[in-house]
DNA sequence: CTGAAAGCGCTAACAA
DNA sequence: TTGTTAGCGCTTTCAG
């Protein structure tokens, strides 16, 4: 019996179920059953029901999600962990994240975001992230090595998008990057381009590697062997695209200008565009350009690109994750897929044209 | 005493403090003091400390954030509520959000995102959002009327960014939009443009209204009276910019083409750019263009624009919010500012030039 | 220096 | 149909 002789430790935020019950002359659990749909065995009489509702209204009762989470062992919140560079905003993130939020809302889940400084140190923080505030976690484009993968938390359902290596027990979502890159490069080759420079993403990213593979395969199919120095790596940002290309051009001054550029991401493509513009080179008249991802950047720059269904990946990741959370909760042993792969497609743009008839030299 | 004769209701997620205490031969609260820094009055002997640490390691103890939140009455999580259109991604959101996440991480707060379908209905959901999962909430660009403002929750600290009206008890963060718009339009007028079309944001947005005010003031200072139909409203998206301008041009076919366009956002400017391009008009040779916000879109389109310190607004909002949460928690009565205003600045771009010597007619 | 006990607000099992 | 009781895992007050 709550004698309530001692003063409350803190200011009360709102009325509790016990308050409502007292006000309505019923038990807290009757109030719980009516207000929060707790599936207690018994039903409440219509009369009591009305009294409870009225009392809740009068007391401005608001359910306390933490208390419920503690009792139920479930928070109805999912997490998204990713790295967000301080210097440059990430379109890729925005697109995927939008999909995540949409789907999460549909599934009745909240979404909390964890911005890791980087994956090297960030990976260690993942177990700490899974501290009961979230029921499951989406790893967005994680760059983990096998060793780090061992330290992933075991009791929290995990899903990854564009993981760079197989993560034990984690369902990975991705798209057909290799064939997307292949199609892109093939298209450029069909236009007549022979020397295509690939300005790719980080070497440790599986997606970046697959784009290189697609690039190579498209060449190989035509019996063309791209020069070894025509594949370069940076990271996926505008700034990296700008600098990486500029450096490459400096190192190759006096040599013939590549006829086309295949960038590892739209952001990289945009950086390349800036470098080319700064050098007075016209796209696509002097040099063709393609990106990868089909983010809003591609649209704003009228960039030909390869579409990855980023938002859809976000949707699927959430559904998969919620399915796994539910499965765990029910104690089900349904087996989860290791990976889900969605198709990519070519997106036309204004940055693609046949090669110049008169080759240019790098200034 | 936990006789633990009954089986656990659910699978245990992890070891608890009680488990650790038992393993180390101390009480749960000793473990709590050592592992979670609970400021219990007493100190623990070094020897006990080591045993507890070892036991925690052995049992792979992970603190449970919900339990702690329930006990402490604080979740260390802040919320961000905004509308996210299904059709089009929002650069503005991304920039502010990045700032929010950064600052939240620095303050040791998690960030959870609430995507409302729209502010009309969404406003009603705000009290439900404040259900104990978050300690405070940032309203991002809320479009609320006075009536809706009355229903904001009272017990949760609230901060808004770019609110469209004064919200009681809510600190609003914004930037000098009026003077930013004024400077932008003045710059265009100085270049010699006389007829400047303003393609603005939603009429109910205070920010949009302020940009119109700046536009008018710049004209008034030069004794120019812009035509009434040279200020049009849409929403802040690319698509809206594209369509709004297209419609306007159709309605004004045969009349002289405006010499310059001042868009209410970078997204709108981008949409305008698409419409102009589609009509074969060159920017800035045939018509000048300025945006507003300085998002990544402006960079990718080489757009002259007005910089709002969006990321900084995110930072400040978080700090302000955390300050208010702390104040409430301490029971302090420190008074919070009603509003915080940050400066804007002009950003040059490639979309600005003097007017054509030979005026064009709208096709 | 350490432990026992109460309670945060809610849900679920078990009696009545 | 309803009430009682016992937790969920943690923190804190108060005795030892």
User: Quick check: A66 and B133 CB within 8 A?
Assistant: yes
Burial A223-240 (b: 16+ CB within 10 A, else e): eeebeeebbebbbbbbbb
Nearest nt to the CA of B16 via C1' is D9
Residue with tokens 């765990």: A328
Whether the CB of B115 is below 8 Å from some CB of chain A: the reply is yes
- Predicted pLDDT at A55: 87
Q: What tens digit of pLDDT does each residue of B253-283 get?
A: 999 999 999 999 999 999 999 999 999 999 9
Question: Which chain B residues touch A98 with a CB distance below 8 Å?
Answer: 84, 89
Whether the CB of A282 is below 8 Å from some CB of chain B: the reply is no
Paired tokens of B256: 């002289």
- DSSP class of residue A332 equals -
Alpha carbon dihedral B269, B273, B275, B277, in 10-degree steps, equals: 180
Q: What tens digit of pLDDT does each residue of B9-51 get?
A: 444 467 888 888 888 888 777 888 888 776 655 567 778 888 8
What Rg do the C-alpha atoms of chain A give, in angstroms? 27
Question: Does pLDDT of B158 surpass 60?
Answer: yes
Report CA-CA distances (Å) from B361 to B194, B254, B356. Answer: 15, 6, 12
> Which parts of chain A are beta strand (E)?
77-83, 110-116, 136-140, 158-161, 171-175, 196-200, 231-233, 260-263, 288-290, 305-307, 339-342, 345-347
Q: What tens digit of pLDDT does each residue of B321-362 get?
A: 999 999 988 878 888 999 999 999 999 999 999 999 999 999
CB B107 within 8 A of CB B319: yes
User: Quick check: A95 and B89 CB within 8 A?
Assistant: yes
- Predicted pLDDT at A43: 64
Q: What tens digit of pLDDT does each residue of A59-108 get?
A: 888 889 999 898 888 899 999 999 987 767 788 998 999 999 999 999 99
A31 band by pLDDT with thresholds 50, 70 and 90: confident
Element (H, E) at A119: helix A119-129
Report CA-CA distances (Å) from B130 to A52, A133, A167, B145. Answer: 22, 15, 35, 20
- Predicted pLDDT at B250: 98
Question: Which chain B residues touch A130 with a CB distance below 8 Å?
Answer: 62
What Rg do the C-alpha atoms of chain B give, in angstroms? 27
- Mean pLDDT, residues A216-221: 98
User: Quick check: B62 and A131 CB within 8 A?
Assistant: yes
- Nearest-angstrom CA–CA distance, A212 and A199: 9
- Nearest-angstrom CA–CA distance, A115 and A111: 13
- Predicted pLDDT at A257: 97
Among the partner residues A64, A102, A155, nearest to B13 by beta-carbon distance: A155
- Predicted pLDDT at B42: 54
Among B12, B16, B61, B65, most A C-beta atoms within 10 A, so best to mutate, is B65
- Nearest-angstrom CA–CA distance, A29 and A51: 14
Residue window 45-74, chain A: list those with CB within 8 Å of chain B: 62-67, 69-70, 73
Report CA-CA distances (Å) from A244 to A194, B88, B284, B318. Answer: 21, 31, 30, 35
Among the partner residues B66, B89, B101, nearest to A296 by beta-carbon distance: B89
What's the whole-model pTM score? 0.90
Burial A87-115 (b: 16+ CB within 10 A, else e): ebbbbbbbbbbbbbbbbbbebebbbbbbb
Q: What tens digit of pLDDT does each residue of A306-355 get?
A: 999 999 999 999 999 999 999 988 888 888 999 999 999 999 999 999 99
User: Quick check: A77 and B133 CB within 8 A?
Assistant: yes
Most confident of A92-101, A259-268, B144-153: A259-268
């Amino acid at each position: 019996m709550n004698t309530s002789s001692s003063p409350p430790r803190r200011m009360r935020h709102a009325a509790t179920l016990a308050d409502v019950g007292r006000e309505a002359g019923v038990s807290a659990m009757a109030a719980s059953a009516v207000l929060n749909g707790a599936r207690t065995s018994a039903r409440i009489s219509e009369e009591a029901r009305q009294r409870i509702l009225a009392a809740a209204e009068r007391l401005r009762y608001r359910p306390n999600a933490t208390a419920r989470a503690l009792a139920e062992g479930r928070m109805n919140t999912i997490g998204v962990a990713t790295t967000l560079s301080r210097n440059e905003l990430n379109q890729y993130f925005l697109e995927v994240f939008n999909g995540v939020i949409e789907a999460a809302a549909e599934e009745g889940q909240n979404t909390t975001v964890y911005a890791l400084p980087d994956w090297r140190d960030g990976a260690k923080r993942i177990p700490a992230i899974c501290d009961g505030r979230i029921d499951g976690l989406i790893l967005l484009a994680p760059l983990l090595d096998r060793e780090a993968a061992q330290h992933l938390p075991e009791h929290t359902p995990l899903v990854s998008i564009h993981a760079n290596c197989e993560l034990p027990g984690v369902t990975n979502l991705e798209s057909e990057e290799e064939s997307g890159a292949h199609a892109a490069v093939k298209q450029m080759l069909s236009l007549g381009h022979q020397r295509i420079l690939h300005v790719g993403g980080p070497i440790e990213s599986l997606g970046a590697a697959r784009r290189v593979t697609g690039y190579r395969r498209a060449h190989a199919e035509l019996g063309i062997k791209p020069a070894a120095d025509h594949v370069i790596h940076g990271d996926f940002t505008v700034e990296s695209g700008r600098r990486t290309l500029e450096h490459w051009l400096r190192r190759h001054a006096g040599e013939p200008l590549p006829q086309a550029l295949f960038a590892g991401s739209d952001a990289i493509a945009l950086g390349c565009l800036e470098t080319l513009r700064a050098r007075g080179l016209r796209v696509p008249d002097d040099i063709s350009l393609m990106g990868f991802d089909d983010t809003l950047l591609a649209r704003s720059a009228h960039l030909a690109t390869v579409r990855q269904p980023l938002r859809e990946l976000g949707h699927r990741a959430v559904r998969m994750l919620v399915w796994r959370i539910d499965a765990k909760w029910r104690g089900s042993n349904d087996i989860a897929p290791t990976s889900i792969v969605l198709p990519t497609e070519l997106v036309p743009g204004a940055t693609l044209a046949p090669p110049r008839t008169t080759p240019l030299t790098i200034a």
